[in-house]
Structure 1
Amino acid sequence: MNEKSSWVIDELLNSNYKYDSSIIPAKTSMYGMPQAPKSPYMISNSNLDKDNDNGKLIEFPLLVTKFLGKTIPAAGGFYLRTLPLKIIKNAIKSYERKEIPGSFYIHSWELTPELIPKIKLPTKNHFITFHKIEKTFSKMEKLLNEFEFTRFDSYISKIHN
């Protein structure tokens, strides 16, 4: 998500969503809001990158880490497939020490690469979409076996009790 797609926040609220996980507090060539908090905050369509007292949607920013001195996503997709597992585990451990939920995601198509039609894409998009796609399931499985994960609604209930 970025300023051009901020209208989505209002659509989520109109559809009775309570939380979102679309902000990446890092800058990439495709997306990212490097100034956004790493821990959950209240978001609005006019304030994507900072806590907003008038916000009605809880943003769970995606996991990031430092790599070669730069903050990069470590949450899923290309980064989950490409980064060494040790770097992702260290990012999760760093968030755990700070008591920040480390949100990550998996694209459904990454779990069944044998079923994905290999459509012709520009070279960069092909690389981002398919690089090490066969590693996704095993990496996700290792993370699920090593760390305790929960749902956003369970986390919200826990912090409000």
Structure 2
Amino acid sequence: MSNSLNPVNLTKPMNNILTFDIEEWFHANYDDVKPDRSKGSSFRAHMDTLLQMCSDAGCKATFFTLGCIGEDYPDIVQAIAREGHDVASHGYAHELAYKQTREGFRADVQKSIDILENLTGTKVQGYRAPSWSIVESNHHYLEVLEEMGLIYDASIFPVKTFLYGIPTAPTEIHKPIVNGRELHLYEIPMSVMRAAGRNIGYSGGFYFRFFPEMIIRKAIQSANRQGKSSIVYLHPREIDPKEHQLELPFKERFIHYYNVKGTKAKLEHMLKDFAFTSISEHLSKAYG
């Protein structure tokens, strides 16, 4: 049941942005963790659920998809495109962008794009780095995406954590400046709110699972009142507490899996009470 303090008619007019990072439960970047992929997965069921949720809500989304997912599940990638959603690149094999050379990064993104475009017959317009791995040291890699003809990037998280983030990055959609030049590329930074003098995420991944629904609602409503869209991002594994899990140290396990059991219902409530669209539709309406 939706929170009665947040009626639909107060929230529906403003379009927010819905995104998913399409990968398996074992796609992660922990050097000492070697997942047993022979366990299988419920990936197909998760994708059926996410697509049905979007259909029920009447919304479009952007699916940042690994190239290797396209190889393993070509029919799922085709289903995403067939239902009118964005199929965007998440790289090929979930490698951290800041651990790749510039040319290695280019090859990785291009490999994923080739796979996805061959499956869907449509141009890939955007990219999101695995684990938000465009940071200050490799921010110039955005030039590569521009050179490849992409329209947008969604890799920047304007926070500072031990894993990722550019805390000084702009918090609104913008064209980034690299080496003194404004790129012909839109940056779609992850949504943040201000708390204790710093930026904090609230509407995706760990933050979506961690914060109570009321806090997320108030943050989205606050952004919408300012004419800003909030961006939600989730992974397929986050809607299923029964999916296989990585063996991780306490801190990493907490970040990776806290409150997975509540994610699906929370997402259903958000889709019911807020309007969402894909990145490409948002850019088309906002910027022409």
Fold conserved (TM > 0.5)? yes
The structure 1 residue matched to 2:284, chosen from 118, 142, 157, is: 157
**Letter paired with 2:193:** T
The structure 2 residue matched to 1:74, chosen from 182, 202, 227, is: 202
Q: Distance in 1 between matches of 2:227 and 2:258?
A: 32
Deviation string 1:99-156 (CA, Å, 9 cap, x unpaired) is: 11211201121123322x2221122111111111111111111111111111111111
Q: Indicate conservation of the 8 Å contact 2:146/2:183, yes or no.
A: no
Change (3 A) 1:138 1:69: farther
**Letter paired with 2:251:** K
Q: Which moved more, 1:5-14 or 1:101-110?
A: 5-14
2:234 aligned with 1:101, yes or no? no
2:168 aligned with 1:40, yes or no? no
Deviation string 1:34-80 (CA, Å, 9 cap, x unpaired) is: 22222100125x37xxxx75212211111112345542111211110
RMSD of aligned residue pairs (Cα, Å): 2.1
Aligned residue in 2 for 1:16 = 149
Q: Distance in 2 between matches of 1:109 and 1:16?
A: 31
Q: Which runs of 5+ in 2 are unaligned?
A: 1-133
TM-score normalized by the length of structure 2: 0.49
Q: Distance in 2 between matches of 1:69 and 1:54?
A: 29
2:136 aligned with 1:3, yes or no? yes
Deviation at 1:85, TM superposition (A): 1.0
User: Larger strand proportion, structure 1 or 2?
Assistant: 2
Q: Indicate conservation of the 8 Å contact 2:204/2:231, yes or no.
A: no
Change (3 A) 1:53 1:92: farther
Deviation at 1:14, TM superposition (A): 4.3
Aligned residue in 2 for 1:122 = 249
Deviation string 1:69-98 (CA, Å, 9 cap, x unpaired) is: 542111211110011111111111111111
Structure label with greater radius of gyration: 2
Change (3 A) 1:70 1:43: closer
Change (3 A) 1:63 1:84: same
Aligned residue in 1 for 2:189 = 61
Aligned residue in 2 for 1:30 = 163
Q: SS at the partner of 1:149?
A: strand
Sequence identity percentage: 33
Aligned residue in 2 for 1:86 = 214
Q: Distance in 2 between matches of 1:56 and 1:27?
A: 26
Q: Distance in 2 between matches of 1:26 and 1:42?
A: 19
Deviation at 1:8, TM superposition (A): 4.2
Deviation at 1:21, TM superposition (A): 1.6
Q: Indicate conservation of the 8 Å contact 1:63/1:92, yes or no.
A: no
Change (3 A) 1:134 1:7: farther
Higher relative contact order, chain-length normalized (CA < 8 Å, sep 6+): 2
TM-score normalized by the length of structure 1: 0.84
